[in-house]
Amino acid sequence: MENCLSTLVFLLSIALVLFPKTGVSFLAAEGASDSDSKVYIVYLGEREHDDPELFTASHHQMLESLLQSKDDAHNSLIYSYQYGFSGFAALLTSSQAKKISEHPEVIHVIPNRILKLKTTRTWDHLGLSPNPTSFSSSSSAKGLLHETNMGSEAIIGVVDTGIWPESKVFNDHGLGPIPQRWRGKCESGEQFNAKIHCNNKLIGAKYYLSGLLAETGGKFNRTIIQDFKSNRDAIGHGTHTATIAGGSFVPNVSFYGLARGTVRGGAPRARIASYKVCWNVVGYDGICTVADMWKAFDDAIHDQVDVLSVSIGAGIPENSEVDSVDFIAAFHAVAKGITVVAAGGNDGPGAQNITNAAPWLLTVAATTLDRSFPTKITLGNNQTLFAESLFTGPEISTSLAFLDSDHNVDVKGKTILEFDSTHPSSIAGRGVVAVILAKKPDDLLARYNSIPYIFTDYEIGTHILQYIRTTRSPTVRISAATTLNGQPAMTKVAEFSSRGPNSVSPAILKPDIAAPGVSILAAVSPLDPDAFNGFGLYSGTSMSTPVVSGIIALLKSLHPNWSPAAMRSALVTTAWRTSPSGEPIFAQGSNKKLADPFDYGGGLVNPDKAAQPGLVYDMGIKDYINYMCSAGYIDSSISRVLGKKTKCTIPKPSILDINLPSITIPNLEKEVTLTRTVTNVGPIKSVYKAVIESPLGITLTVNPTTLVFNSAAKRVLTFSVKAKTSHKVNSGYFFGSLTWTDGVHDVIIPVSVKTTISM
């Protein structure tokens, strides 16, 4: 098994973006010789015709020419990418990979990589409810859900660990026929019968394993891959994310009595297509290869999904998107009108660790819900304190002890207090009744079936410790947790959520948007040991990503002609900068720090407002060409990526002019002028006025200050923004905003500026 897994070590590690699973790190393999065959992806760019068989034949011919044998070419080929773009994955030696990279039709050759997998209250919290809320117009007779028939014509592609098809959230009660444009299929496999398990809700189910098998010895070895050789989900992650995006209504669901309510997805009548690319490999939390993932993207483009939900991510990026080409498959999907929603990662709260940062991706951060699970702790002196937990058992009444770093305390039959800074040891088998764990605030709760864990902050932990040290026989009573919705629970950017600025392209704001991703209740695989009646509470940007995917499915139903960039703009420019109840949004991990664009992009997603944004900052192929030119792509490479002759302008376009719904200036010396273009998607006759909130020490000037739209033929207008700094020394980032308002619509984009003085 070690030999099989050692081939994975050569590859850059990536993980299911689910928190708080243990992180995995692959180290570079040692002693690899040129004769060792590995999986390489040979990328050839845009398709030049529509015949997939001709593509496969040409890929065989290229390999045959390289290997000088038809049989060797056949055995080498793993995948032929033929629908969304042209390319193939093959087993090659490093010298063969180098040789084929010199072929004039080849744009890139890259080694396969391992990717890693990093709800009841969610939709009420965001105002997207079948019933009216205090901060939304949505109801059974009005609002985004009603106007789109809950997304019944939308198709959500979920690229993940597969699906548990028997879950009630995938029932198709009341759904009409499958949309006629659907070209995909369900594949049967181990414990998955396409005729039985697929229906008018779950309309697609495929699995991709060849890329992983090529890295693990070529055979499905169950001592290594403990999974179903089908789309069936052994991990639960894919089932959970699919539920959040498009699960059907299931009433009266809870997690051991907590968070009780009706579980459903953002687009509860949307159709789901599951693409299983991530697998349960022993010792890892779920791994996926780029070769398999590219084939899933290729098929999803062919199948005609509307949105791809990708809760998968790499480590902190080191190369540009165009050099690493990890995002090229997503680029082709976006170029064909498919919005790709991707997790921002769980490496927060430090700066510059955001992943999935390509400008064509919709990158999502995670926030908490306005929900908590308060747990009452009563000390022996009758002092009452409140912590949080998922403890739902009968009241605990025991002696209380502090377990410090020497761990030489008699803990049998007692509740123990621990601090996470003391590196708690295993307490299994020592007779502990319960654990009070004092740690830094992060809203991450866990349930351990054998021992209840109660979570509190250092202040309360220190208070309990003082009681223990000043009392001869300290005791404690712990009551079962309850569910508290709304105030005083507050919305925060989750501590684990990865932050900007974008380390690869600092002028591209990432994340784009934030959505709830902490303690989200959704269906899981019943094989998950923490599941309760087939449901579980998960946290991570893996969970916030399908929240946005479900909203995109609704927007696509309402505005079928909108581009992925228009969808993103609608979300960013209408987002909440405060919580839905009007309270400030703080960023966890920093004491009293208000969230800024590097924490949550445009803000917390506001579905109903996004349906009618007024103006959008649209982007098309030309904008992406300009980005590639500014990032250093040569003309011939861009031409092959796009499938048509393309030439960068001289001088090259400024990356500051990319038509994003944000302005980020990472190195302002004195002053700079940039442009943006807006498209009117509201009333034909509209007048918008600029409202500027300049960052500290920065003067923003907009020209013109008024945008007048007066005909259907004149829906697109361009304006310029001049930024001038008054700082005399290098500064950090300061933040502001630019709003276009017509009195009804407030179209807000975040502005981030850092002054850099030349030496």
Is 363 exposed, middle or buried, given 0-12, 13-18 or 19+ CB atoms closer than 10 A?
buried
364: Cα separation from own chain's centroid = 5
The C-alpha atoms of residue 584 and residue 592 are separated, in whole angstroms, by 10
**Cα(317)–Cα(499) distance, rounded to whole angstroms?**
12
What is the largest distance, in Å, between two alpha-carbon atoms of the chain? Answer: 84
Structure tokens at 143: 């609002």
Structure tokens of 186? Answer: 């369900």
- CA distances in angstroms from 493 to 356, 440, 544, 591, 594, listed in the order given: 18, 15, 11, 12, 9
Return phi, psi of residue 555, to 5°: -65, -40
Q: Read off the DSSP letter of residue 149.
A: G
**Burial grade of 578 (CB within 10 A; 0-12, 13-18, 19 or more):** middle
Q: Which two tokens stand for residue 513?
A: 């948007």
CA distance 367 to 346: 12
DSSP-assigned states of every residue in 340-400: EEEE--S-TTSSS---S--TTSEEEEEE--SEE-EEEEEETTS-EEEEEE---SSPEEEEE
Please name the amino acid found at residue 558.
L
SS3 content of the chain, % helix, strand, coil (to 5): 25, 30, 45
As given in the structure block, the two tokens for residue 534 are 């087939």
Query: What is the DSSP annotation of 461-519?
Result: HHHHHHHHHT-SS-EEEEPPP--EESTTS--EE-TTS---S-SS-TTS----EEEE-SS
Q: Which two tokens stand for residue 399?
A: 């002696």
Among 208, 265, 260, CA closest to 242: 265
Instruction: List the one residue out of 427, 382, 378, 352 whose CA is nearest residue 732.
Output: 352
The residue type found at 247 is G
- Residue 157: closest CA among 329, 35, 349: 329
**Annotated catalytic sites, by residue?**
160, 237, 542
Residue 78, both tokens:
């793993």
H or E segment to which residue 418 belongs:
strand 414-419
The candidate with the shortest Cα–Cα distance to 663, out of 688, 631, 700, 627, is: 700
Rounded Cα–Cα distance for residues 114 and 237 (Å) = 17
Q: State how far the Cα of 212 lies from the Cα of 231, in Å rounded to an integer.
A: 15
Q: Is the distance from CB of 131 to CB of 139 less than 8 angstroms?
A: yes
